[in-house]
Chain A
Amino acid sequence: MQYSNELKVGAAIILAVVAAFVGIRFFQNVPLFESSYTLYAEFDNANGLVSGKPVRMKGVKVGSVERVQLDPQSQTVRVEMKLERGPRVPEGSEASVAGISALGGVHVSIAPGPRNNPQLAPGATLGTPDAPSSLGRLTEQAPALASKADSVLRNTNATMASLNRLLRRPDSDLRQSLAALRGMATDLEQVTDAEKATLRRLLQNLESVSGDLRDFTGENSDSLDVAIRRLNQSLDRLNRGLASFEQTSATLDTIATKLNEGSGTAGRLLNDPGLYVRLDSAAAQANTLLKDFQNDPGRYLEDLTLVKVF
């Protein structure tokens, strides 16, 4: 069949243009006919990311980088990405620059958010897994932290046990020693008062620790370091508090010994039921707190999965 020259030339040129267009889009890795949408991400450092590089989610290509530009105001790198319609990028997904630029393998990696979250709207800006390094630091410190907490609790346990023993023992000589104890009542009351404050502080500290930890789970918890440091401090303080508690118990121990030996004033002290009740309630308070902490540390360290050692 004979075709005119014009037809041949026209067909050839159109074919070439179409082929060139398709080829370029093909190599640019942009879906040809499937519609795409745009997402943004902001990074501190592009690490050699340029347009045309792939965007991957769980290692699978889902789009490509359209444009990389430095925002002069915020001094961050704003990356425009074209994503295929197919794979869902749920809300809460986070983007990061991955790969080594020297090998040309730099790409944007998207860590998908919770599965049940709705799809991100086109034009949205993806979050970045902020300061992944501090999380790493936490991972490093977690075992030490855990063992420290463990030893603190073991100390507490021991202290409680001795206190219990001490409190259970004075049954026979207590009435006789009431008069002797009365003289010491003021002293002991003061001590107990002091210990009450210490315990309250202890409780507050523990509360602030769990508050920090709760904050940490929040989206903008870039104060994880601070939280860790505070947790450390709190545990130190708890330690110190328990040490002084131990001292107190030691004092009680000597008192009890004196009582046992039939010391006059101690007998009087033991005669006062109010003192006993006060002492008991203080001990019970500490007991419940520590038992609670021992039974379910997760309540205080909620969401801090790394401290699940408890």
Chain B
Amino acid sequence: MDALSKTYTPPGLALSPPLDVPFQTAARPAVLDSLLAPFRALGQYAILIGRAFASVDEFRMYWKNLFIQMVRIGIDSVPIVALAAAFSGAVLTVQTAYQLETPFIPKTIIGSIVAPSIMLELGVVVAGFILAGRVGARIAAELGTMRVSEQIDALEVMGLNSIGFLILPRVLAGVVMFPMLYVVSCIVGIGTGILTGEVGGFLSASEFLEGARQFFQLLDPLIGFIKSVAFGFIVTSIACYKGYYTGGGAVGVGDSTTQAAVLSCVFILVADLLVAMLLL
């Protein structure tokens, strides 16, 4: 039973899969089965998220949940995102300054490199990674525990739409609050960048800003914003999927949590590249 539980995948037909019965596929060769597993997972994920958004009409029942999740996912994440952004902004400024230490390049170029880098890439990706760990793991662990302790079944039996109740608010909160965190990340990152140059004495604030303004394009923050929305969706939806379909007790919750964080990071990178290729 224990060994089987690790390969447990809930049946697609079940509205809410059972926990004490491992799922086994019919007489297909194991190799083919493992080859098909990613496709099945993708389908299951898509159906789950589709059903979450299909339940949007009964959202007025769950709107309070949305605000709870927005606070947990968004506002509670501000300190850690700000911390990460502060360090990445400072490090980027110091290292760019170090690399451009030639008399032929004006110092303002440091600002022209650091500010767009943070707006375009670093601010949003660093925030995304931090949130994959903080938000993604939290959601997966929360939903996974609810699954293995039958709280999701309890919701269903009460007549609640557990997907709408649990997943939709989290995904929406992610999509709305990640851009907010992105703004925090950018401001703190660029702010510490300026501060580092000023305190370190190698770049004045006005030099930094002059360079940053010279090369500023509206497209940079716009792409960062699009990325933040995408990352918000990726982190929360993958975590919800992993958590909602957790099986196998405490170990299962651990697996789901790890996979949610890892998969979120991987797909953040993939989405980052896709957005960059499509929009730049």
What is A's interface to B at a CB cutoff of 8 Å? 4-6, 8-9, 12-13, 16-17, 19-20, 23-24, 27-29, 52-54, 103-105
Contacts and interface: CB of A to CB of B under 8 A. Distances in A.
9 contacts: A13-B176, A20-B183, A23-B221, A24-B218, A27-B212, A28-B218, A52-B216, A52-B218, A54-B214
A16 B75 CA distance: 11
Interface string B155-174: 00000000000000000000
Given A5-B71, A23-B186, 10 more contacts: A5-B68, A9-B70, A9-B177, A12-B75, A13-B176, A13-B180, A52-B217, A54-B214, A103-B106, A104-B112
Q: Is the interface of A mostly helix, strand, loop or mixed?
A: helix
A48 to B, nearest CB: 12
Contacts of B217: 52
Contact of B215 (A8, A13, A19, A104): A104
Interface of B: 64, 67-68, 70-71, 74-75, 78, 106, 112, 115, 176-177, 179-180, 183-184, 186-187, 212-218, 221, 225
Which one of A12, A13, A28, A54 has the highest number of Cβ atoms from chain B below 10 Å of its Cβ? A12
A174 B225 CA distance: 106
A4 B177 CA distance: 17
Contact of A5 (B67, B177, B180): B67
A61 to B, nearest CB: 9
Contacts of B64: 5
A137 to B, nearest CB: 32
Given A8-B71, A9-B74, A16 B184 contact: yes
A29 B213 contact: yes
Nearest to A24: B221
Contacts of B184: 16, 19
B212 A9 contact: no
A27 B216 contact: yes
Contacts of B212: 27
Going nearest first, the 6 A-B pairs with the smallest beta carbon separation are A5-B67, A16-B180, A27-B216, A16-B183, A9-B70, A29-B213
Contacts of B221: 20, 23-24
A251 B182 CA distance: 97
Nearest to A3: B71
A54 B108 CA distance: 14
B174 to A, nearest CB: 13
Contacts of A105: 214
Which one of B64, B71, B184, B221 has the highest number of Cβ atoms from chain A below 10 Å of its Cβ? B71
Contacts of B115: 27
Contact of B75 (A8, A23, A29): A8
A19 B180 CA distance: 10
A27 B218 CA distance: 9
B77 to A, nearest CB: 11
